[in-house]
């Protein structure tokens, strides 16, 4: 069973997919967010092509544990995704995943331009890998 990880952003959406055993996460191409309809259509195709059976989407909880406007937006999106894709969708606390992605890219010596191109995919990969590890624990 493959699981799709989503790092939902205003302009770009990072995606990652698990291997068939649910042990590791690999990044997919980042998609641009132009409209909700386009986003749902792109996800539907990806889920079909990758044989996805579950989705985990990052929930941007504030550092103090509160839910800001972006977290509320994600929570409202979950039932829409479940209905459109006919798949279970879970949220996952994504605090610090973007920071961890940034740290890893700096350690690798990526240019600022390359970091911008890579950050969403890497954040989705980290988010999904954390989720997969929690399921094994």
116 φ, ψ (degrees, to nearest 5)? -60, -40
CATH 3.30.420.140 fits 2-136, yes or no: yes
Q: Which of 98, 131, 104 is nearest to 23 (CA)?
A: 131
Reported as half-sphere exposure (CB side, CA atoms, 13 A), residue 40 has a value of 14
Q: Where are the alpha helices (H) located in the chain, listed in sequence order?
A: 36-50, 69-85, 97-107, 112-136
Q: Where are the domains of the chain?
A: 2-136
What pTM value is reported for the model?
Answer: 0.87
Q: What is the mean pLDDT of residues 99-123?
A: 68
Paired sense of beta strands 12-18 and 25-27, if any? antiparallel
For residue 5, the model assigns a pLDDT of 97
Around Cβ 131, how many Cβ atoms within 10 Å?
A: 22
pLDDT in tens, 30-49: 999 999 999 999 999 999 99
End-to-end C-alpha distance for the chain, whole angstroms: 18
Q: Assess contact for 52 and 41: CB atoms under 8 A.
A: no
Per residue in 13-30, pLDDT (tens digit) is: 999 999 999 999 999 999
């Amino acid at each position: 069973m493959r699981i799709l990880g989503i790092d939902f952003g205003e302009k770009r959406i990072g995606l990652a997919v698990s291997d068939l055993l649910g042990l590791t996460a690999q990044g997919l191409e980042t998609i641009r967010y132009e409209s909700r309809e386009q986003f749902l259509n792109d996800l539907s195709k990806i889920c079909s092509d990758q044989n996805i059976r579950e989705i985990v989407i990052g929930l941007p909880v504030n550092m103090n544990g509160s839910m800001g406007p972006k977290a509320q937006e994600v929570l409202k999106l979950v039932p829409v995704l479940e209905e459109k894709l006919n798949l279970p969708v879970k949220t996952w606390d994504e605090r610090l995943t973007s920071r961890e992605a940034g740290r890893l890219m700096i350690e690798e010596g990526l240019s600022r331009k390359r970091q911008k191109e890579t950050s969403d995919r890497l954040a989705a990969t980290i988010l999904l890998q954390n989720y997969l590890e929690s399921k094994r624990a």
